[in-house]
Chain A
Amino acid sequence: DTGVSQNPRHKITKRGQNVTFRCDPISEHNRLYWYRQTLGQGPEFLTYFQNEAQLEKSRLLSDRFSAERPKGSFSTLEIQRTEQGDSAMYLCASSPDFETQYFGPGTRLTVL
């Protein structure tokens, strides 16, 4: 499968713990996006990268959230001190320049 991949697919954690998700974009896609989707809602934009540069962050991305794309390839999204409100599906997408976004399968986070 040469599409966008995300790991893990599911994560259950206790409140207060840190979690990290990984996204591997389609090869040579220089743009990478993170979205969050809660039950009954559409995906909501969190942040995006052009190569290794983080170009925009949503107000949804609190100080507990950090995203990196160190070599312009894969990206990680870390949530520190998780809260129950962080429970959601975290989606990653990638695109080449001026083209549409291709989504990964998502990582479902459950915070107990």
Chain B
Amino acid sequence: AQRVTQPEKLLSVFKGAPVELKCNYSYSGSPELFWYVQYSRQRLQLLLRHISRESIKGFTADLNKGETSFHLKKPFAQEEDSAMYYCALSTSGANSKLTFGKGITLSVRP
């Protein structure tokens, strides 16, 4: 069975500092990886997916199959990045069931 691990519950940084939110997965096949974000009092929304290789709101994530990781990075954090971030995995493309990690709270201080 597949699993997603987010080893940290909270990351607190100052504005302008680099951010790295860690995500590791276990799955024997070729998964599709996602990062979802939930801002305060808003619904869960897609931030980015690995196959699109886009940079969204300055965030990037690279799938490392050797290390089975999909860490989310941003070089300069902004206060509006404060939110809950979830890493998720799909075994059959974007519209099949998602397996989520437990999430990490990112707090960006002024």
Contact = CB atoms under 8 A, between A and B. Distances in A.
A62 interface: no
A95 to B, nearest CB: 4
A103 B95 contact: no
A98 B97 contact: no
Instruction: Name the prevailing secondary structure of the B interface residues.
Output: loop
Nearest to B94: A100
Contacts of A99: 94-95
A42 B102 contact: yes
B22 to A, nearest CB: 14
Contacts of B34: 100
A48 B95 CA distance: 10
A96 B86 CA distance: 22
Contact of B100 (A31, A42, A105): A42
Interface of B: 4, 34, 43-46, 49, 86, 88, 93-103
Given A42-B100, A98-B95, 17 more contacts: A3-B43, A4-B43, A40-B102, A41-B102, A42-B101, A43-B44, A43-B100, A56-B97, A97-B95, A98-B93, A100-B46, A100-B49, A100-B94, A100-B95, A103-B43, A105-B43, A106-B43
